[in-house]
Amino acid sequence: MTSFYDLKTHTLTGQPFDLGSYRGKVSLVVNVASKCGYTPQYKGLQSLYTELAPRGFVILGFPSNDFGGQEPGTAEEIKTFCELNYKVTFPMFSKVVTQATEGQSPIYAWLGRGGDLPKWNFSKYLIGRDGKIVAFFPSKVAPDAPELRQAIEQALK
């Protein structure tokens, strides 16, 4: 697989999903969790999505329980939490294992080929329209951080 958009996954509700439907868009892939100190980043992520979606930008949320057991919920609990607390409307997918261990998601196996795997929740991969990784941002880089915003703007050009 040479492109992120060649991968397949499942929606938060368990339906098969082809990431190829985002081919030609700029994607921000984020491993999310409901009980993390970085969880308030959902608000900034939603703001970015609302503002930039009309320009061909999408945020893809992948819940993960890899770090501190901070995403213990079921798919329905995750969906309800995100909608009620942060009004999340960007696409959310089924819970995944991000780390290079048994059961690692093919999504994160592919993302990790670039040398970066999440060290905590809310790590961000910026994927260009061509399906290649443009940049990786660790958890502490907030959705409104100038370096993230600049990278997104550059990818959207």
Q: pTM for this one? A: 0.96
Other Cβ atoms less than 10 A from the Cβ of 49: the count is 19
What's the pLDDT score for residue 50? 98
Q: What is the mean pLDDT of residues 123-151?
A: 97
What's the pLDDT score for residue 114? 84
Residue ranges per domain, the chain?
4-156
What's the pLDDT score for residue 61? 98
Asked if the model's pLDDT at residue 1 lies above 80, the reply is: no
What percentage of residues in the chain have a pLDDT greater than 70?
Answer: 100
Active site residues: 36
Question: Regarding predicted confidence, which is higher, 1 or 141?
Answer: 141
**For residue 131, what pLDDT band results from cuts at 50, 70 and 90?**
very high
Residue 120 · residue 139 · CB < 8 Å = yes
pLDDT digits (tens, 9 = 90+) for 27-84: 999 999 999 999 999 999 999 999 999 999 999 999 999 999 999 999 999 999 999 9
CATH of domain 4-156: 3.40.30.10
Residues 155, 157: Cα–Cα separation, whole Å: 6
- Among 155, 151, 142, 156, smallest CA distance to 44 is for 142
Asked if the model's pLDDT at residue 119 lies above 90, the reply is: yes
Residues 70, 5: Cα–Cα separation, whole Å: 28
- Size of the chain in residues: 157
Which residues does residue 30 pair with via DSSP β-bridges, in sequence order?
61, 124
Q: Which pairs with CB-CB distance under 8 Å and at least 24 residues apart come from 38-43? A: 38/120, 38/121, 38/122, 38/139, 38/140, 39/121, 39/122, 41/122, 41/142, 41/143, 42/82, 42/85, 42/86, 42/88, 43/86
